[in-house]
Amino acid sequence: MQGNLPPEAQEKLEELQDLQETAQQVATQKQQAETQLAEAESALDALEDIDEDTGMYRQVGELLVESDYDEAYDDLEEKVDNLEVRVESLDKQEERVQEQFEELQQELQQMLGGAGGGGAGGPSPDVGPGGD
C-alpha cells in the first residue's frame, strides 16, 4: 500500500504513525498518574480519619520506617499536589499531540487529493459517520 504513495506522503504517513505511538505513550503515562493520584488521595482521606497520636509507618524501599502523623500527611499532600500537576501536564500534552495528529492527517489527505476529507470540523477523529 505504501509503495504507491509519493515520497512526501510516505513521510507524512510515518510522522502520523510516530504521533500515534506518542499519543499511546502519553495516554499510558496519564492513566498511571491518574491511578497514583487516586491512591494518594485515598490514603490522604484515610489519614484524615486517623488519630494524630496513632503510630504509623511508611515504606521506604524494602523497609518500613516509623513516621509521625504530620510528616505522613505533608508527604501525601505534596504527592497529591505533584500528581495533579503531572496529570494536568499530560492532559495538555495529549491535546497537543491530538492537534498535531489532526493537522498532519489533513495535510496527508490534501496531498492525496482530498481522499476521505471532511474530518476537519470535529474534535475527535474517532467519531464515526453516525456522530453523537
Tens-place pLDDT, residues 42-57: 999 999 999 999 889 9
* Residue-level pLDDT at 97: 95
- Range 33-36 contact pairs with CB under 8 angstroms and sequence separation of 24 or more: 33/83, 33/86, 33/87, 33/90, 34/87, 36/83
Is the pLDDT confidence value at 21 over 90?
A: yes
58 in helix, strand or coil? strand
Beta bridge partners of 80: none
Phi and psi angles of residue 6, each rounded to the nearest 5 degrees, phi first: -65, 155
CATH code assigned to 11-114 = 1.10.287.370
